[in-house]
Amino acid sequence: MSKPNIIILATGGTVAAKASDESTSTDYKAGVLSISSLLKAVPGLDGIAKLSTEQIANIDSSNMSDELWLKLAKRVNSLAKSPKVDGIVITHGTDTMEETAYFLNLVSHTNKAIVLTGAMRPASAISADGAKNLYNAVYLAADEQARNKGVMIAINDKIYAARDVSKTHTLNIDAFKAQNSGEIGYIIDGKVFFSHDPVKLHTVNSVFCVRGLKKLPKVDIVYSYANDGSKVAIDAFLKAGAKGIVVATSGAGSIHENSKNHLIKLLKAKKLVVVKSSRVGAGLVPLGKEDEEQGFISANDLNPQKARVLLMLALTKTQEGKEISKYFELY
């Protein structure tokens, strides 16, 4: 049987980092090594797939931008259309990997496997995790079972659905978790095991599309905290052109009255779309009758950074609160 064609799109991150010596795992610059040099550290990939590579960017993923997302998504869609591509692996920094994965999950119109991976330790560190993660990601992308699963993250031997996963530790190699639903599978010695499918709409069933899109509507995030002063930030975001705000509420949708009353005024004046997420990290945000009347939208169980992604894409379709709310139920 012929080997699947897998293309690796490299964007940078710690997986492509080199520190001053082997014992250093925190003080380094992310996104310096090329994908071809990373592949040299991964033996045996040629036996699994016919590999090709493309260096899309080489950045620390904390510098990810809407522009780069659009570029990456357009490239993914064009490659996925080709009969010469069976699966796509994207190397990425772990800091914003979950956001890029969810963005691609919503705008990549293919049932071919798209797998993001990265590393928590630089390539030069003792016990660097990048080579194994890349190895697993290629195995996953080459596996027939990985089709129709939406965009996935393969890291630390586990497989996560893009919508559900988030980075939950600053340094540990077991940094990724899907707090509400768990991983959808795992990879052991080149064998892929799935336990369940993601249930929300994605990829071929998504209405969102980047074709012809030059920029994304501006959406910002405000954070709730004791003695909340984010009214100032809300006004500044609005002045800078924000069409939507995601609030990282302090619990199951609670916002300090300082900013809540201000948001209610802006909602009434139809100046903004406001989505309530939570800073807690697990669980969903229910909406009370009063919230609905005031025009707030629930992010469901999406964390604030993911809710921002969906709200930007929703705003490419509509400004209508009820329709946007529906998107948050479906995606």
* Catalytic residue set: 14
Among 88, 32, 24, residue whose Cα is nearest residue 57? 32
Contact assessment for residue 267 and residue 242, using Cβ atoms and an 8 Å cutoff: no
CA-CA-CA-CA torsion sign (291, 167, 323, 72): positive
Contact assessment for residue 253 and residue 260, using Cβ atoms and an 8 Å cutoff: no
Tell me whether residue 100 or residue 325 sits nearer to ligand SIN (CB atom): 100
Output the six-digit token pair for 255.
Answer: 């916002």
Write down the least CB distance from residue 142 to ligand SIN, Å: 24
How far is the CA of 28 from the CAs of 21, 34, 64, 123, in angstroms? Answer: 10, 16, 18, 10
Write down the least CB distance from residue 12 to ligand SIN, Å: 6
278 touching ligand SIN, by CB under 6 A? no
Angle at 121 between CA 174 and CA 164, to 5 degrees: 35
**Which of the residues 35 through 94 are near ligand SIN (CB under 6 A)?**
60-62, 93-94
Identity of the amino acid at 220: D
Q: Of 11-19, 33-41, 279-287, 293-301, which part binds ligand SIN (CB under 6 A)? A: 11-19
Write down the least CB distance from residue 25 to ligand SIN, Å: 10
Q: Of 7-15, 66-74, 178-186, 187-195, which part binds ligand SIN (CB under 6 A)? A: 7-15
Tell me whether residue 158 or residue 256 sits nearer to ligand SIN (CB atom): 158
Q: Which helix (H) or strand (E) holds 59?
A: strand 50-59
Write down the least CB distance from residue 156 to ligand SIN, Å: 12
- One character per residue 13-32, x = contact with ligand SIN (rule: CB under 6 A): xx---------------x--
Write down the least CB distance from residue 151 to ligand SIN, Å: 17
Tell me whether residue 160 or residue 296 sits nearer to ligand SIN (CB atom): 160
Contact assessment for residue 163 and residue 145, using Cβ atoms and an 8 Å cutoff: no
Identity of the amino acid at 40: K
98 touching ligand SIN, by CB under 6 A? no
Q: Of 10-18, 125-133, 153-161, 182-190, which part binds ligand SIN (CB under 6 A)? A: 10-18
Tell me whether residue 71 or residue 109 sits nearer to ligand SIN (CB atom): 71
Tell me whether residue 11 or residue 206 sits nearer to ligand SIN (CB atom): 11
Tell me the residue nearest to ligand SIN as measured from the CB: 93
Contact assessment for residue 6 and residue 138, using Cβ atoms and an 8 Å cutoff: yes
Write down the least CB distance from residue 11 to ligand SIN, Å: 9
Cα separation, 311 vs 217, in Å, equals 9
CB atoms within 10 A of CB 23: 9
Output the six-digit token pair for 175.
Answer: 């940094």
Phi and psi torsions of 79, nearest 5°: -65, -40
- End-to-end C-alpha distance for the chain, whole angstroms: 37
Torsion region of 148: left, alpha or beta (phi above 0 gives left; psi -120 to 50 gives alpha): left
Tell me whether residue 95 or residue 183 sits nearer to ligand SIN (CB atom): 95
Contact assessment for residue 88 and residue 43, using Cβ atoms and an 8 Å cutoff: no
130 touching ligand SIN, by CB under 6 A? no
Size of the site for ligand SIN (CB under 6 A): 12
The residue ranges that bind ligand SIN (CB under 6 A) are: 12-14, 30, 60-62, 93-95, 118, 120
